[in-house]
Structure 1
């Protein structure tokens, strides 16, 4: 029987009383996205379970030759479903499906295989994709929903950016985290009331966030500046990278992690290039181009907010970052994080973050090519760059990973 015939659709009727579980990758961003989806009648829950139990569940239900992010995402789902916390006949799962050459497009099939093995193959699995790969009558990405979801990514990007640039220097310990928590609470209430979603309100909130972070008292001191790049899941997910950011903060580092908006621009830009190269409808190109323009405006709002105060290092514009790697790697190299990963390393070095951790999960071949494979080239052009690739897999110990970073 084909995968399509076995697929359980998430129907309109299910939307009313099903809880949709979502794996946690971006703790701050996903909290905002949850509120946007709630506005459209979806009941989402971001999974918080972690630890060795998740890894063990992943190893039980996923072949260990599969890339590490798949093992963790599916392991987190299966561990949660077996916790006894959920009504398994009123639960659905949400997972992204990129549609590109990355094996992440197949996570959804691996997840369904795991559910079948556990006797849960009656459970709907929703594909979150912009490629029309799978459709569900009860879950639809409308243009208004998509625009709002993209807008709130700006909040997450700026909050994380300014928090990371403030915390190492805060005069009052914990003040940066408290401000972050206050803004998360404030924005969550706004989003629940249907506010803070249009571009004007987004700009106002971003500027206010910047002003309040700039008002926090700091004590300038010498710390080690460290950038983090890598495959998107292990780059952002504390579960995937063994709480890398927390470890670096504990080592007296200022951490810079490129935002999600740049990655979204990269993916949308690739769609436009594909249509130019291989053909496609004019209507599709127009819609994607409008999305590109909207994302560019959101990116500009984040940059402008960060630039309001000279003590913050603002992210570079996507188009500028794209030009940085023109002499190093072709734009056709776009599987996984593609040339963007290389570009982010260059941007970090040029922004003063010469020490870089390149997080590489087992099984992600594109990431190894555009990450570890480009280190020598980057160092030839930027001798001051100090880049260390760190492998993440079920057998890699946290102690060894942290010791490599310390070196």
Structure 2
């Protein structure tokens, strides 16, 4: 809650506006919107993407942008097209980042599109990863920790969904448990006072209730081939952009382990520390603040994940420095930056955790995906021939089902060979 406002946003500049959040991941967008509402600001995810999204994205982009830019621009323009939309009350949430990815240009490009088409009154809220997304102005204090906890919880619920859905006895039961748990999470965020200890306890109780819902769902004891999912963060998490690849995989009898959203936040934190060290600023107030933030975030993660200790046995998410260490023989962080490093490191980690194959989901022409694709053959050889396949998306994918079928044959063959070699 904002100081001195009894839980409302008071006279904050965003008060009276509606913040629209692009659904990088369905659950994360809903929870993140609730984090805004928890401090008295109106927020909601953009409406579900559809064919109109692609039409508008193509119309308002030049063709050189990557697919996530087209999807987000298309979804935002869909909001502006609605007759009931008050342009003066609209704010688009569009984070940004530094590094080689074109993601850093999304917010400036969106501003250009809006201004060029007469939507100058529409505001863009664009935090930066330079200081681990702390650049939210006066919102930082009350919002950053609530938003962080919202994303943590949403990732935990998605992990449960993906671990249990392939084995449900009755189709739809796990999805129902997930939706009920996500609604519970959003209500908890919005209705609980934002005092950190009170909020953390309430969110932990929400996670305990979620655990109970998922555990009540009848599941089969059999185990499916485990397929790790890495890649560009938007494409791998946004089901519209990746043509619902994960559920297609499940249709072929696989279980997917998808790299989560907060992995990127941990990475930006680690980069902040690396740059502080490089510039000789490790003994500064900025470094102290970064260290305190990391300790607080780690504690939040530990408390919220603790109810799932048994559920996630064997599926533990690695510490960010373990991912970076796994990447070092192939793509050391000192010589590369961004998702390419994370993807390479996570591929190695997932293979060591028993994955039968790895899929990299990226937008067509994505530099991170292209660099990784050049390195994957060496990683595959080093890891006993594990099949690693890049899937690129630009909205025109036509043979996904066929390609996944072929890929799953390779994954099953690798798994059979790996099991035989351990006997």
* TM-score, reference length from structure 2: 0.84
Where does residue 171 of structure 1 map in the other structure? 169
> Shift of the alpha carbon at 1:119?
1.6
Matched residues in 2 for 1:226 and 1:292: separation? 30
Aligned 8 A contact 1:20 1:92 in 2:
yes
Cα deviation 1:209-256 (Å, max 9, x = unaligned): 335433432212353322211011101111221222232233332111
1:7-406 maps to which residues of 2 (within 5 A)? Answer: 14-131=13-130, 140-194=138-192, 198-280=199-281, 282-301=284-303, 304-309=306-311, 313-369=315-371, 371-394=372-395, 396-397=396-397, 399-406=398-405
In structure 2, the residue corresponding to 1:128 is in which secondary structure? coil
Instruction: Figure out how many residues of one structure are paired with residues of the other and give that number.
Output: 393
Q: Which runs of 5+ in 2 are unaligned?
A: 1-9, 407-423
1:79 CA displacement: 2.4
Contact 2:192 2:202 in 1 (8 A): no
Q: What is the Cα deviation at residue 271 of structure 1?
A: 0.9
Change (3 A) 1:111 1:313: same
CA distance in 2, matches of 1:354, 1:103: 31
Report if aligned partners of 2:49, 2:75 keep a CA contact under 8 Å in 1: yes
Cα distance in structure 2, aligned partners of 1:201 and 1:39 = 13
The Cα RMSD (Å) is 2.7
Distance 2:202 2:148 in 1: 14
CA distance in 2, matches of 1:203, 1:384: 41
Distance 1:243 1:325 in 2: 28
Counterparts of 1:353 and 1:134 in 2: how far apart (Å)? 32
Please give the alpha-carbon distance, in whole angstroms, between the structure 1 residues aligned to 2:17 and 2:213. 39
CA 1:134/1:295 → structure 2, altered by over 3 Å: closer, same or farther? closer
SS at match of 1:183: helix
Instruction: Return the alpha-carbon distance in structure 2 between the equivalents of residues 121 and 283 of structure 1.
Output: 38
- For residues 310 and 277 of structure 1, the distance between their equivalents in structure 2, rounded to whole angstroms, comes to 36
CA contact (8 A) 1:224 1:253 kept: yes
Q: Is the 8 A contact 2:66 2:363 kept in 1?
A: yes
The offset of 1:95, in angstroms, is 0.6
Q: Which consecutive aligned stretches of 4+ in structure 1 deviate over 4 angstroms post-superposition?
A: 11-14, 132-137
Q: Is the 8 A contact 1:325 1:346 kept in 2?
A: yes
* Residues 212, 52 of structure 1: alpha-carbon distance in 2 compared, 3 angstrom cutoff: closer
Give distance in 2, aligned partners of 1:120 and 1:74.
Answer: 13
Which segments of 5 or more consecutive residues in structure 1 lack a partner in the other structure? 1-10
**TM-score scaled to structure 1, two decimals?**
0.87
